[in-house]
Chain A
């Protein structure tokens, strides 16, 4: 039995969608249809799949940000879905999330320094001065500056906001980070900087990542294992090597073949 930081068993989530002229009739969307996964401590599991296949639902369901219909989540040996309020509160320090939509996840009325430092306050880590230093340190690690702490989210670019979300998740030195498209808005240089930061933290502190992305080039550089989703189901999983070298499913092959820029690369090779 490998040492798993996270296990999910048979997760299910069905949404009922209004349809018809008056929105009275309903039809069901099986966002998670019996999804199970295992994440070994200190490793990275990438989740790839079609837009709408249930990746964000999976992330939010594991974190209890939305109620699942059924299933079991074991985090660090504990039955996470059964934790009571106070146990959940302290467990939240160890399991952080980087959200897909940075703007929607940052409080527009808070200064960035307070947004990033909020978790430190909630979990009573350090005094005001130490907190300030930690905030500045992590900001600089994601390529932003000390004076950015005084600004509001709308004063940043899309990629800068995404990095604010990353800084907020990493400052607590959690055990597990669930990253939902964390580098999708970043230019390739900043992207490399962030991926290296994530890897460095993994080596130093044994962090584990559940890493949702649609960019298979990124998967290749960050992940140990890959899980492919389609229409709420896991259709393939395995080591990065095996998925790239011998994809079993048609959809996985399509994903590999649709990486953009290949025509030109082939033409100029």
Chain B
């Protein structure tokens, strides 16, 4: 199969304690036009896996393994080659918007930056494209001169979404991209991403803890637990007939909209080998 993205044997440890496996032997592949959702325990290594594809791991962490993008092993690429890929071929929506937005630059400037560097847009064409992107994520284009701290949490998240899709990348890595959005705006964003997927054959690696979102957008689902992939399968396989005990326990915790179910965190002590 010719995958757009293939991760082989990814291991991540703190550089100073190589015996602590934060990500343990993770492999996955993703084809054009497909969406894979990663779900799993808080702290199970979802964000670290995503960051390692972009080579944005903290220098305090040590990574081993291979990452193939469009057939090429990019795990050894130098920083300038990576910069060329990032933003142009691979977009990323980070879990915490404020960590990736620059507080002293206007949002219009920041959305325009990849368009300038990668596509050479200038002047009124640039301005128009920035306004279009803002419109698409449901922000009044008149807010282009705002600074990140003048926006609400959900507006910041949408600015980052606009930045990540500005150059219509082949691969979009989205780390909990709609956590700060109400459901109506979330639905609008998911439609926008779906449209890019259909029109551009964009592939998405989409981290979420919302099983409703998984049901709506995923082709494949990967379940992570304590740094490892414990289950993968098509969305209907995983949601309707989960195999791994962790997946079963996790699905049992999904809150229902009717409020009839008694909330119960899982007791998964028994899942962890002594």
Residues of A within 8 A of B (CB): 15, 17-20, 23, 27, 48-52, 55-57, 100-104, 143, 154-161, 163, 180-181, 184-193, 195-196, 214, 216-218, 220-221, 240, 244, 251, 254-256, 258-265, 268
Q: Across the interface, name the chain A residue whose C-beta is closest to B152.
A: A52
Is B255 touching A192 in the complex (CB atoms < 8 A)? Answer: yes
The reply on B179 being an interface residue by CB < 8 A is yes
Is B154 touching A51 in the complex (CB atoms < 8 A)? Answer: yes
Least CB distance, B154 to chain A, in whole angstroms: 3
Contacts of A55 in B (CB 8 A): 152
Is A185 touching B42 in the complex (CB atoms < 8 A)? Answer: yes
A51-B182 contact in complex given A19-B142, A103-B98, C-beta closer than 8 Å: yes
Q: For the complex, what is the distance from the CA of A258 to the CA of B187, rounded to whole Å?
A: 7
The reply on B240 being an interface residue by CB < 8 A is yes
Residue from B47, B179, B250, B254 whose CB has the most chain A CB atoms within 10 Å: B179
Contacts of A161 in B (CB 8 A): 96
Is A187 touching B95 in the complex (CB atoms < 8 A)? Answer: no
Contact of A259 among B46, B153, B176, B183 (CB under 8 A): B183
Contacts of B151 in A (CB 8 A): 52
Contact of B176 among A51, A52, A185, A214 (CB under 8 A): A185
Q: For the complex, what is the distance from the CA of A180 to the CA of B175, rounded to whole Å?
A: 20
Contacts of B209 in A (CB 8 A): 159, 185-188, 191
The reply on B26 being an interface residue by CB < 8 A is no
Contacts of A100 in B (CB 8 A): 153, 180
Contact of A181 among B145, B180, B265 (CB under 8 A): B180
- Of the listed stretches B115-123, B192-200, B256-264, name the one at the interface; the rest are far from the partner chain: B256-264
Contacts of A255 in B (CB 8 A): 182-184
Q: For the complex, what is the distance from the CA of A55 to the CA of B182, rounded to whole Å?
A: 12
Q: For the complex, what is the distance from the CA of A181 to the CA of B58, rounded to whole Å?
A: 27
Interface CB pairs A-B, < 8 A, 22: A17-B143, A17-B145, A27-B142, A50-B184, A55-B152, A101-B98, A104-B98, A155-B60, A156-B43, A158-B47, A158-B96, A181-B153, A188-B250, A214-B183, A221-B263, A254-B184, A258-B184, A261-B213, A261-B216, A263-B215, A264-B215, A265-B215
Contact of A260 among B58, B153, B210 (CB under 8 A): B210
Q: Across the interface, name the chain B residue whose C-beta is closest to A57.
A: B152
Q: For the complex, what is the distance from the CA of A221 to the CA of B146, rounded to whole Å?
A: 36
Residues of B within 8 A of A (CB): 39-43, 46-47, 58, 60, 95-99, 138, 142-143, 145-146, 150-155, 158, 175-176, 179-187, 190, 209-216, 239-240, 249-250, 253-259, 263-266, 268
Is B255 touching A218 in the complex (CB atoms < 8 A)? Answer: yes
Residue from A157, A160, A185, A193 whose CB has the most chain B CB atoms within 10 Å: A157
Q: Across the interface, name the chain B residue whose C-beta is closest to A254.
A: B184
Is A260 touching B255 in the complex (CB atoms < 8 A)? Answer: no
Contacts of B266 in A (CB 8 A): 189
User: What 6 A-B pairs come out closest when comparing CB atoms?
Assistant: A261-B212, A51-B154, A159-B42, A260-B212, A220-B259, A193-B265
- Interface of A: prevailing SS: helix
A51-B257 contact in complex given A181-B179, A260-B210, A261-B211, C-beta closer than 8 Å: no
Contact of A157 among B43, B179, B183, B256 (CB under 8 A): B43
Is B265 touching A217 in the complex (CB atoms < 8 A)? Answer: no
Residue from B42, B150, B190, B256 whose CB has the most chain A CB atoms within 10 Å: B42
Q: For the complex, what is the distance from the CA of A217 to the CA of B213, rounded to whole Å?
A: 13
Q: For the complex, what is the distance from the CA of A191 to the CA of B179, rounded to whole Å?
A: 13
Is A188 touching B183 in the complex (CB atoms < 8 A)? Answer: no
Contacts of A186 in B (CB 8 A): 42, 209
Contact of B257 among A15, A48, A103, A259 (CB under 8 A): A259
Is A154 touching B58 in the complex (CB atoms < 8 A)? Answer: yes
Contact of A262 among B175, B212, B263 (CB under 8 A): B212
Is A190 touching B154 in the complex (CB atoms < 8 A)? Answer: no
Is B182 touching A263 in the complex (CB atoms < 8 A)? Answer: no
Is A195 touching B263 in the complex (CB atoms < 8 A)? Answer: yes
Contacts of B257 in A (CB 8 A): 216-217, 220, 256, 259
Contacts of B47 in A (CB 8 A): 157-158
Q: For the complex, what is the distance from the CA of A100 to the CA of B180, rounded to whole Å?
A: 8
Q: For the complex, what is the distance from the CA of A253 to the CA of B268, rounded to whole Å?
A: 37
Is B265 touching A192 in the complex (CB atoms < 8 A)? Answer: yes
A101-B153 contact in complex given A18-B146, A259-B212, C-beta closer than 8 Å: yes
Contacts of A57 in B (CB 8 A): 152
Extra contacts, 13 of them, besides A186-B42, A192-B264, A260-B210 (Cβ < 8 A), are A18-B146, A101-B153, A102-B96, A185-B176, A188-B253, A189-B268, A240-B259, A251-B184, A255-B182, A259-B183, A260-B186, A261-B214, A261-B216
A216-B183 contact in complex given A188-B250, A190-B41, C-beta closer than 8 Å: yes
Is A187 touching B250 in the complex (CB atoms < 8 A)? Answer: yes
Q: For the complex, what is the distance from the CA of A18 to the CA of B150, rounded to whole Å?
A: 10
Least CB distance, B194 to chain A, in whole angstroms: 13
